[in-house]
Amino acid sequence: MKLVRYGQKGAEKPGVIDADGVLRDLSHELNDITPDCLGSDRLAALQALDKTELPEVTGKPRLGVPLDGIGKIVCIGLNYRDHAKEVGAEIPSEPIIFMKATTALTGPFDDIKLPRGSKHTDWEVELAVVIGKTAQYVSEDDAMDHVAGYAGFIDLSEREYQNKRGGQWTKGKSCDTFGPLGPWLVTRDEILDPQRLSLWLEVDGRRKQFGNTELMIFGVAQIVSYLSQFMTLAPGDVIATGTPPGVGHGMEPSEYLRAGNRLESGVDGLGAQNHFVVSV
């Protein structure tokens, strides 16, 4: 099941994409797509609906962040060996954890806004995991029971803020619009193996990143279990699982986003995003 939120920013409505790719309205079934909807019983009830009986949404409305009320965004750094190598970092022996402010979230087709004076804004396409059931001290064997679904994510990064302004990753990752999520929240039953998903990113039609989640150092079950040893993961929390090689910072010479660029990305089974880059 592909859950969406559509409409103007701040006034989104809940929706679902049916088997034919048609957007259907869910407003008569729930007020919004929130963490309360992500439990197995609630998802099963939504799954059981006859989607063809739901009102069709006409036109091409804006799609927003597919989940409202996200509590935290937890990110895993350097989770692909080739990405660690391209930026001159050591291969981590345990997951590297940092946080990204929820105010960075933006829709899958919204403009990406460069921070004032930014010259080093970089791209990172990622698989995002959405938690559906509270996870605290869970084992790897049980970890997937706590996952509601997945979405595409772009972890935009201002490298000067990240690396030269006190060495604080969160500072370089949390600017407004630096967390595009979507276009859909795809429930776990539709993704047979999260460790077999290709992901890609293009700038102005030129392929920059291509990889597969099978090359992640730490897989989804490992990450969920690991994080739950240090913090409680709540329904609606989002985990960004790391990026494959091809970021601008790792190129020779380095490349960064500029106003006027078009940024496109996608993950197998999770849809594609498309953004214009603009100045604030």
Q: 204-251, pLDDT tens digit by residue?
A: 999 999 999 999 999 999 999 999 999 999 999 999 999 999 999 999
pLDDT value, residue 57: 98
Higher pLDDT, 3 or 166: 3
pLDDT value, residue 235: 98
- Please check whether residue 143 is in contact with residue 225, taking contact to mean a CB–CB distance below 8 angstroms: yes
How far is it, in rounded angstroms, from Cα 181 to Cα 249? Answer: 22
- Please check whether residue 123 is in contact with residue 154, taking contact to mean a CB–CB distance below 8 angstroms: yes
pLDDT value, residue 65: 98
CATH 3.90.850.10 matches 73-279: yes
pLDDT value, residue 27: 97
- Please check whether residue 154 is in contact with residue 179, taking contact to mean a CB–CB distance below 8 angstroms: yes
If phi over 0 gives left and psi between -120 and 50 gives alpha, with beta otherwise, what is residue 167? left
Residue 83 has pLDDT above 90, yes or no: no
- Cβ atoms < 10 Å from Cβ of 131: 27
Q: Where are the domains of the chain?
A: 2-53, 73-279
